[in-house]
Structure 1
Amino acid sequence: MENNHKNIENDPVYTGKTSLSKNNRQYKRKYPNSEAGPTGKKGRPASDAIATVKLPPHGYPLEHPFNKDGYRYILAEPDPHAPFRQEFDESSDWAGKPIPGWLYRTLVPNSVLLALHDRAPQLKISEDRLTVTGEKGYCMVRSSHYVCRGKWYYEATIEEMPEGSATRIGWGQEYGNLQAPLGYDKFGYSWRSRKGTVFHESRGKHYSEGYNEGDTLGFLIDLPEESIVNCLPTTFKDRPLVKFKSHLYYEDKDKVQETLKALKVLPQSKIVFFKNGVYKGVAFSHIYSGSYYPTISIHKNATVTVNFGPKFKYPKILKNFKCCGMNDRIEQLISEQTVSDLLFLTENDGRLRLDTFNI
């Protein structure tokens, strides 16, 4: 029987086009092994195959497609609230056809962690997904959650900084180049360990003294809300689904050039950094509007551990600057994603009904 979805298990990262069918420094870090999870039996419906594969405790497959080569991959899960799901499950006429994306939904993590898929592959991520170690040249990793309005804060501790290594840490948008330091392009704003220089668009300026092994840094972003801007996340229900190692992912093509052209300054926005609880001043002001992720870039083999809350080393910063820890974004993002999906299902009810009953 022909598979009823795209299969990319034999390709480390599938990049073909698909049709749009409907804290401690003494802590010994553990790194994920390379064993693949169980795969579904041939001929078994995708929904059954996916259901048999359990995710690791941190909620993301150990083997997964990386975001690169102009494509992004978003882990999907069955949407129990999707309309006509029962009719789809009971129908044999879907055999050999792509699974409609609207029967699934984006899997929103229930913890803020370092993203396994949204990173340079050479970076090593610890088992708890809170520590990253670099290798050779500059490259970076983003977090699993982003923010687009409000005041948000997270901390990062420099666990190891061998001679010759360096870091640039801060906030970055989704299209920032993963094989470059944060602040290399228009999509990122960073604070460098060497000389305390801050970077944006590869232009550096003096900001503070540098930081080193043992220092805990604070990163605050202030994004005033714009009444005309829709901050709801993208619903991927209209995107194609692809299969990789028995898990389904939405495949989305990068829109870098369109995003660059649409960038505009957000008035009164700013980024502030702290070193060991001490306010170092405004590093950037009037930054571009958009969605920002806590982002870490590392040169050579430095090691950094992030703290997204709720227990921060310097909790007074949240009170003094009236900001939220990144951990507060968890429930908020789940709610926003649900609203975005519901809007799609409501606006497309007629088409989905035709797709289901006129197979």
Structure 2
Amino acid sequence: MTEIEDPATEDSKKRAGLTPDLGDLTETKKAKLDEPLSPEPQGESVVITPAPKSVLDYKKHAEVQLSQVDKAPSVTISNDNLVASSTKGYRSVLGSSGHCRLGWAAKKAELQAPVGYDAHGYSYRDIGGTKVHMARREQYGDPYSEGDVVGCLLHLPGKGSSEQKHEIFNYRGIPVEVVGEEQAKVVPGSCIAFAKNGALQGVAFRDLPEDTYYPAGSLYTLPNQAEGASIEFNFGPEFKFQPPE
């Protein structure tokens, strides 16, 4: 059974006043490149956008960690970059309170909505244990709650390193990156699976579009909830529950 969800809420009773704020989306403009620092792209014009700090600072940190840049404005990241906290509605980056979704998302995923809201995110939802992609909820595994440990597996065979390539150019003295619009190819045999407290829940999604995916989580709390919710991430190599074979 497939259920199309209200992207702004986790429950129909919680709809009041939860309109996603899309005001901080970056506007891209079309322009010609000037003073290329790498081989010129094909065509007379391309879409360019100012290179974000996360790209300019790329590779400064070797370990996997939460991004201080690629998150909703209201999400707070701890100093060790392993805990994300938030209050009031849905924001993307288990908790002491509220609801959450955990999974994987690409760079283009909407940060002011829960993971799985659009085509660029895949998630495992605490309520009902459903899986969510493109705002469609489907039956999947066991529900989880505060104190549970959720394992997230991403399998991309033959893709090699998950390192994202960025073409950086100098446009009028400003570092910019090229934004490609090519149709994403499906990676045969690719899949996403989840585990709850070490128990594999099965494969949730198959044949993913080729992209660079990042661990992602969403938090939901009621507007009048005093205490915020938080998610603590463990990127290994020591896990509480070892990945299933």
TM-score, normalised with respect to structure 1: 0.50
Residues 72 and 254 of structure 1 are in contact (CA less than 8 Å); yes or no, is this contact kept in structure 2? no
- Aligned counterparts of 1:184 and 1:113: Cα–Cα separation in 2: 23
Q: Which residue identity lines up with residue 129 of structure 2 in the other structure?
A: G
User: How far 1:279 moved relative to its partner?
Assistant: 0.8
5 Å-filtered alignment, 1:295-306, equals: 295-300=216-221, 301-306=228-233
- Aligned counterparts of 1:231 and 1:218: Cα–Cα separation in 2: 19
Higher helix share: 1
Residues 183 and 190 of structure 1 are in contact (CA less than 8 Å); yes or no, is this contact kept in structure 2? yes
Q: Does the alignment pair 1:174 with 2:86?
A: no
Find 2:200's aligned residue among 266, 272, 279. 279
Structure 1 equivalent of residue 12 of structure 2: none
User: How far 1:128 moved relative to its partner?
Assistant: 0.8
Change (3 A) 1:128 1:287: same
Structure 1 stretches of 5 or more lacking a match?
1-11, 23-69, 78-104, 142-157, 243-249, 322-359
RMSD between superposed Cα atoms in Å: 2.9
Structure 2 equivalent of residue 252 of structure 1: 177
How many equivalent pairs are there?
201
Change (3 A) 1:174 1:266: same
Residues 139 and 180 of structure 1 are in contact (CA less than 8 Å); yes or no, is this contact kept in structure 2? yes
TM-score, normalised with respect to structure 2: 0.71
User: How far 1:264 moved relative to its partner?
Assistant: 3.3
5 Å-filtered alignment, 1:1-359, equals: 20-22=33-35, 73-75=52-54, 106-141=58-93, 158-160=94-96, 162=97, 165-225=98-158, 233-240=164-171, 242=174, 250-252=175-177, 258=181, 262-300=183-221, 301-315=228-242, 317=243, 320-321=244-245
Residues 190 and 200 of structure 1 are in contact (CA less than 8 Å); yes or no, is this contact kept in structure 2? yes
User: How far 1:217 moved relative to its partner?
Assistant: 0.6
User: How far 1:272 moved relative to its partner?
Assistant: 0.7
Q: Which residue identity lines up with residue 234 of structure 2 in the other structure?
A: N
- CA deviation digits over 1:220-249, x for unaligned, max 9? 0111115xx99763244424465xxxxxxx
Q: Which residue identity lines up with residue 252 of structure 1 in the other structure?
A: E
Change (3 A) 1:129 1:19: farther
- Off by >6 Å, runs of 4+ in structure 1: 12-19, 229-232
Change (3 A) 1:305 1:13: same
Change (3 A) 1:277 1:75: closer
- CA deviation digits over 1:32-55, x for unaligned, max 9? xxxxxxxxxxxxxxxxxxxxxxxx
Q: Which residue identity lines up with residue 166 of structure 1 in the other structure?
A: H
User: How far 1:20 moved relative to its partner?
Assistant: 4.4
Change (3 A) 1:159 1:137: closer
Greater Cα radius of gyration, structure 1 or 2: 1
- Aligned counterparts of 2:107 and 2:137: Cα–Cα separation in 1: 21
User: How far 1:109 moved relative to its partner?
Assistant: 1.8
Change (3 A) 1:253 1:313: same
- Aligned counterparts of 1:116 and 1:21: Cα–Cα separation in 2: 30
Q: Which residue identity lines up with residue 224 of structure 1 in the other structure?
A: P
